[in-house]
A and B are shown apart, each in its own frame.
Chain A
Amino acid sequence: MDYRNVLTTCIYCGAGCSLYLQVLDGKVVGVLPAKQHPISEGRLCIKGWNAHAFIHHEDRLTRPLIRDNGAFREASWDEALTLIADRLREVRATHGPDAIGFLTSAKCTNEENYLLQKFARVVIGTNNVDHCARL
């Protein structure tokens, strides 16, 4: 049996409480509050206490999906990424970089947001990059 507590940050609101994920044999089984954190001070709200609950949900996507004749089929990463690269290249060549847009996410990390806007600006050459929560 392998049990660990991993200190991380809550994903449910901008208050940014710290919490521990309780990990048992490679599965997240619960959440504990962090005493030393300036916002949470050892407490969490109901969303924070349940921050782990969706992680192992059966609906999680675990393989790339490609639409074929209207329906999704599972695909390898290689096939999916090659298809995306080909199509983006094609759209860019025919319609120009500004025919492509990117939506980044307030749910993703800073590093991921940074990389996707860098991708839009460097690889495609467009400023069409935004996130869904201007709010």
Chain B
Amino acid sequence: MAGLAAAFGSGAMTNSIPELEEADCILVTGSNTTEAHPLVATRILRAVEKGARLIVVDPRDIQIARFATLHLRQRPGSDVAWLNGMMNVIINEGLEDKEFIAGRTEGFEELKAAVAEYTPERVETITGIPADELRQTARIYAGAESAAIVYAMGITQHTTGVDNVLSCANLAMLTGNVGRPSTGVNPLRGQNNVQGACDMGALPNVYPGYQSVASPEIRQKFERAWGSTSDLKAGLTVTEMIDAAGDGRLRALYVMAENPMLSDPDINHARECLKQIDFLVVQDVFLSETAELAHVVLPGVSFAEKDGTFTATDRRVQLVRKAIEPLGEARPDWEIICDLAKQLTDHASRITHHAPRGWDYSHPSEIMAEIAALTPIYGGISYERLEAGEALQWPVPSPDHPGTPYLHKGQFSRGKGRFHAVSFKEPAELPDEEFPLMLTTGRIMFHFHTGTMTRRSEKLEQEVSEAYVEISAQDANALGIGKSERVRIVSRRGEIEARAWVTRRVPPGVVFIPFHFAEAAANALTHAALDPVAKIPEYKVCAIRVERIA
């Protein structure tokens, strides 16, 4: 998000999912697409059927790699190095798009200087990717008429996550693969409405539509509409809030349908911090691990019991429709928030100086009308248009605008695209004698995020009901671990038990654990070191050791 916004002026997926089918080259990295986004994977495989070249860069032998022309298995955490290496080859062999660079970008000379030292041979020593394979990859990508980059959390969940994203943006601009159909830089969002949550200003530094809280004009606009608003200083991110809860700066936390206990890195730390808090409210459909710590728990409803919209990863705004009445006394989250707002702003006990304004909505369509009025990229979105079946991808600046399948046509959102010179930095925690293996975590097909919903779905739970750890045969042999044996996994922060899956999916030196299982939460092991800009925790790489349970 932060990386793409700095390079292009907008942090979202640049192109559309259906467009992938027409690409000539697709570079997939840090995305286990067939498991995490199956119907995006379908498009990629269709492109392959039509002759596109697929390049997969991933340490694990994931399913989609079987369809790839080339599968590069980099050492976890070395992404900036191989991306710079590709650009080194492209520039040295004169394969860059000179016209695009001259007309539409800035900062090229700095980039060129920065990637000069990343020769394929040097990159091989950092990443383990054979120099020749890197050269071939660079030639295939640069030679394609339209090449798309697809990535997911494997790229963003590092202390260098922003650098990784900037490097992807550099590569796309270097070859003129932005602003045309079937190209671009395409982050796949993990949860269904991450895009929408970001679009709606559920972020400490922006109002809805990525309008900065630091801008006095923007602040004035929202103050006029809402009666009052917060000040110009950005707030705390989720990981900062948890730390602030631990040291007494944060006294109350209100959590809507989230389970930060499981999804945060280093959950032992998160639990200790949340226990310190004076007042914790959780609004959810199930009693999650976080709700168990709460002072008050409010029953929200599932997506089947309310109307609303979600925004898909390719900026597509779509309706969610109420199918049944709320169960028991549960209530839609939007109604709960409005009721609470009215309680806090009524005359007797008002806590703001301004008149309470705008908490009376009879239906979510009225909330969308307010969003559209205040959020230029959603300006032309209405329930009427969505009900009429229009496929609307933002920006939709006005009611007669058809929406925008791909961004940055002719011009970037920020004017010129900006190259960023980025150099490789090691992950925050590297293996050593005591913790000799690298742990990487991620999703699997049958479960969704922290599993509060999927693990209560019988069929999904049957498919994979127990936590496991993927380990290479070489490491398993060295440790004397047999097939399916229960093992203990230990990091500097905690330990869990899981069943060993001895497999070629991971290379020697690397183990993988899915993070959906509360009883063996991989995040008890991971590391809360943050990317300094995006504040994304490093889930993907930390040092661990695996032990037999004697």
Q: Given A60-B330, A111-B368: A134 and B343 within 8 A (CB)?
A: no
Neighbouring B residues of A133 by C-beta, 8 Å:
189-191, 194, 197, 263, 449
Residue from the list B37, B230, B299, B337 in contact with A62, Cβ < 8 A: B299
- Interface size of B by CB at 8 A reads 141
Please name all residues of chain B whose beta carbon is closer than 8 Å to the beta carbon of A54 when the two chains form the complex: 285, 302, 453-454, 456-457
| Nearest CB on B from A115, distance (A) | 5
With a cutoff of 8 Å between Cβ atoms, the chain B residues found around residue A85 in the complex are: 340, 343-344, 349
Contact B258 A132 (CB under 8 A): yes
A45 to B255, CA, bound (A): 30
B38 touches A91 (CB 8 A): no
Interface: A32 (CB within 8 A): no
Q: Is the CB of A109 within 8 A of B320?
A: yes
Q: Give the complex CA separation of A135 and B197 in angstroms.
A: 12
Q: Say whether A60 contacts B286, CB under 8 Å.
A: yes
Q: Mark A21-51, 1 if CB is under 8 A from B, else 0.
A: 1010011100000001011100111111010
Give the distance in Å from the alpha carbon of A54 to the alpha carbon of B328 in the complex. 15
Interface string of B168-207 (1 = CB under 8 A from A): 0000000000000000000011111111111111111101
How many Å lie between the Cα of A66 and that of B226 in the bound state? 31
Indicate if the CB atoms of B536 and A135 lie closer than 8 Å.
yes
1/0 per residue B315-356: CB within 8 Å of A? 011111111110111111110111111011100010110000
Q: Are B42 and A43 in contact (CB under 8 A)?
A: yes
Q: A18-B318, A46-B446, A132-B259 are in contact. Are A65 and B297 (CB under 8 A)?
A: yes
CB B148 to nearest CB in A, in angstroms, measures: 15
Nearest Cβ in chain A — how far from B92, in angstroms? 34
User: Does the CB pair B367–A128 fall under 8 Å?
Assistant: no
B80 is an interface residue with CB less than 8 A from chain A: no
- Choose among A28, A93, A100, A132 the residue that contacts B324 (Cβ–Cβ < 8 A): A28
Flag if A67 contacts B295 (CB, 8 Å): yes
Taken together as a complex, chains A and B put the C-alpha atoms of A47 and B40 apart, in Å, by: 14
Tell me which residues across on chain A come within 8 A of B285, comparing CB atoms: 54, 60-61
Say yes or no: A110 contacts B39, CB within 8 Å: no
CB distance from A23 to the nearest CB of B (A): 5
The tally of CB-CB contacts under 8 A between chains A and B is 425
The answer to whether A114 and B371 touch across the interface, beta carbons within 8 angstroms, is yes
What is the CA–CA distance of A62 and B1 in the complex, to the nearest angstrom?
36
Chain A residues with CB below 8 A from B100, complex form: none
Residue of B234, B320, B535 ringed by the most chain A CB atoms within 10 A: B320
Contact A38 B204, beta carbon cutoff 8 Å = no
Q: Which of A6, A81, A107 lies at the interface centre, i.e. has the most chain B CB atoms within 10 A of its CB?
A: A107
Q: Which of A76-135 contact B (CB under 8 A)?
A: 77, 80-85, 87-89, 91-95, 97-135
Closest to B292 in A: A72
Find the A residue at minimum CB distance from B203: A130
Q: Give the shortest distance, in Å, between B447 (CB) and chain A (any CB).
A: 8
Most A CB within 10 A of own CB, among B193, B207, B227, B349: B193
Q: Give the one of A55, A67, A127 with max B CB within 10 A.
A: A127
Whole-angstrom CA separation of A15 from B313 in the bound complex: 6
Tell me whether A64 and B250 are in contact (CB under 8 A): no
The size class of the interface chain A forms with chain B is 35 or more
Given contacts A15-B37, A100-B253, A127-B230, contact A115 B338 (CB under 8 A): yes
B467 at the interface (CB under 8 A from A): no
* CA–CA, A81 and B367, complex, Å: 22
Most chain-B Cβ atoms within 10 A of its Cβ — which of A23, A60, A88? A60
Least CB separation from B161: chain A residue: A135
- Please tell me if the beta carbons of B351 and A123 are within 8 angstroms of each other in the complex: yes
Using A112-B308, A121-B222 as known contacts, say yes or no to A131 and B303 having CB atoms under 8 A apart: no
Please name all residues of chain A whose beta carbon is closer than 8 Å to the beta carbon of B199 when the two chains form the complex. Answer: 110
Checking A39, A57, A134 against B456 with a beta-carbon cut-off of 8 angstroms, the contacting residue is A57
Given A77-B331, A87-B279, decide whether A109 and B237 contact each other with a Cβ distance below 8 A: no
Minimum C-beta distance from A92 to chain B (A): 6
- Residues of chain B contacted by A83 (CB below 8 angstroms): 296
B430 at the A interface (CB under 8 A): no
Contact of A111 among B153, B295, B300, B334 (CB under 8 A): B334
- Which of A60, A72, A97, A126 is the one whose CB lies under 8 Å from B297? A72
Query: Which residue of chain A is the closest to B1 with respect to CB atoms?
Result: A134
Q: CB < 8 Å: which of A47, A98, A117, A126 contacts B208? A: A117
> B318, A121: Cβ atoms under 8 Å?
no
Contacts of B325 in A (CB 8 A): 26
Are A12 and B257 in contact (CB-based, < 8 A)? no
Q: Is the CB of A108 within 8 A of B535?
A: no
B-side interface residues toward A, CB under 8 Å? 1, 17-18, 36-40, 42, 153, 156-157, 188-205, 207-208, 213, 222, 226-231, 233-238, 241, 244-245, 249-260, 263-264, 278-279, 281, 284-287, 294-300, 302-306, 308-314, 316-325, 327-334, 336-341, 343-345, 349, 351-352, 364, 367-368, 370-371, 389, 391, 445-446, 448-449, 453-454, 456-460, 463, 534-536
Given contacts A7-B319, A8-B303, A114-B370, 20 further A-B contacts (CB under 8 A): A8-B304, A11-B310, A13-B38, A13-B189, A13-B448, A16-B192, A53-B459, A62-B299, A81-B343, A84-B340, A88-B279, A105-B257, A108-B256, A110-B311, A112-B308, A113-B200, A121-B222, A128-B204, A133-B189, A134-B535
Residues of A near any B CB (own CB < 8 A): 4, 6-18, 21, 23, 26-28, 36, 38-40, 43-48, 50, 52-57, 59-67, 72, 77, 80-85, 87-89, 91-95, 97-135
